Amino acid sequence: MSKEDNDFQHFEVIKRNRNKRFKHKEFFVEGVRNINEAIRNKWEISSFIYSGEKELSGWAKSILSNVKASIQYQLPNHLMDQLSRKTDTSELLAIVKMKANDLSRIKLTNNPLIVVMDRPSNKGNLGTLIRSCDALGANGLIITGHAVDLYDPETIASSVGTFLVFRC
């Protein structure tokens, strides 16, 4: 098995497998807004993934040349299509390092609003809850019990970028 096959399998497993995400402490990010928010909010980027068979936009070229990542991977279009959750495959994907699950990440104000959610069971609903917390000016969200995965690509996508801004 070639190194490229191993790398692709790693991306696939980070995208699809909760236990492996937490073992590697990495998660999958797709979409312009999500990648921009990850960068703007100083999330550590492990790697960028893009196709070597397509001309990249100015945005993607700028990201690849200006944002530090441990490694950049070029994949053929058919593998990018397999990784992307979109009908029109994203030109740039990212593997991002998880931040520590630590209450000190929540910045408290004089009159803090902390939302506590016990066992959310739907990825899309959790993403919507994250957006709502952000819109209401909550300082943070604490999830208790056995819940859907905060780092699932569907949760991140349904948060429409606010996951990478908000403190969960």
The pLDDT, as a whole number, for residue 6 is 87
Same domain, 16 and 64: yes
Single out the residue of 94, 89, 91, 88 nearest to residue 55, CA to CA.
91
- pLDDT for 121 equals 95
121 by Cβ neighbours in 10 Å (0-12 / 13-18 / 19+) ranks as exposed
* The last residue of a domain, from among 97, 127, 149: 97
* pLDDT at residue 2, as a whole number: 46
Query: What's the pLDDT score for residue 18?
Result: 96
Q: Which pLDDT does position 66 carry in this prediction?
A: 97
- Predicted confidence at residue 161, as pLDDT, reads 85
pLDDT of residue 1: 34
The boundaries of the domain holding residue 75 are 3-97
Specify the pairing of strand 92-97 against strand 26-30. Answer: antiparallel
From first to last of the 168 residues of the chain, give the pLDDT tens digit.
345 578 999 999 999 999 999 999 999 999 999 999 999 999 999 999 999 899 999 999 999 999 999 999 999 999 999 999 888 889 999 999 999 888 888 888 899 999 999 999 999 999 999 999 999 999 999 999 999 999 999 999 999 888 888 766
Q: Which H, E and C letters describe 82-112, residue by residue?
A: HHCCCCCCCCEEEEEECCCCCHHHCCCCCCC
Residues 38 and 59 in one domain: yes
**Last residue of some domain: 47, 72, 97?**
97
- How would you write 131-156 as a 3-class SS string? HHHHHCCCCEEEEECCCCCCCCHHHH
Are 127 and 68 part of one and the same domain?
A: no
Domain boundary among 97, 119, 137: 97
